[in-house]
Amino acid sequence: MFNIYKKCNKPNDPCIIGKIGSAHGILGMVKLFSFTENKNDIFKYCPWFTVKENQWIILHLEYKKNNKDFFLIKIKNIKNRNEAQLLTHCHIIIEKKTLPILKENEYYWNDLIDFKIISDTGNYLGKIDNFLQTRSNDILVIKNYRGNKKKKEILIPFIENEVIKNIDIVNKTITVHWNPIFE
């Protein structure tokens, strides 16, 4: 069933830059959600990879169309809706070396995954698990185990100088002005 994809080796330093959404129409198009700061920049970084059934696959873009909240794209060799649906929820991954080199004190969201989050009162809140993008600001998704209880999820808005007080790249910690109430 997956012979329509060109299989490949895992990239050396994989970096997630987007996600494939649902199939669109009958000709094999899919929705694409970009995680890049400028949404169009996702098309600057090639080649694209994804993982399907524990197999690394290289994706070649055939067509793109800008939509309000997402892109519509056509992947080469995907000919119909059924084939396109197989890619739903797959991440778009690139090799990190294809990204521009950052200046001092700059970082990519991907670099902040697993950073420890400490409140400005000294409380350990957990580690960054993911990011959510909203129209007003990005949100840190923090995971924390509280003793033997199940994992708690804390959502913290990424608002520099107001909520985000300090990002320490060397020690992999972020200090925030945030004190959630744990039950």
| Residue 70, φ and ψ in degrees, nearest 5 | -160, 175
**Residue 112 structure tokens:** 């902040």
Give CA–CA dist 30/111, Å, rounded: 28
The model's pTM is 0.71
- All structural domains of the chain: 6-98 (2.40.30.60), 109-176 (2.30.30.240)
| Res 102: pLDDT | 85
**For range 118-128, the mean pLDDT:** 92
Give CA–CA dist 102/75, Å, rounded: 30
Complete DSSP assignment for 9-75: PPPSSEEEEEEEEEEETTTTEEEEEE-SSSGGGGGGS-SEEEEETTEEEEE-EEEEEE-SSSEEEEE
Per-residue pLDDT tens for 146-178?
A: 665 656 789 999 999 999 999 998 899 999 999
**Residue 53 structure tokens:** 């059934």
Give CA–CA dist 118/178, Å, rounded: 9
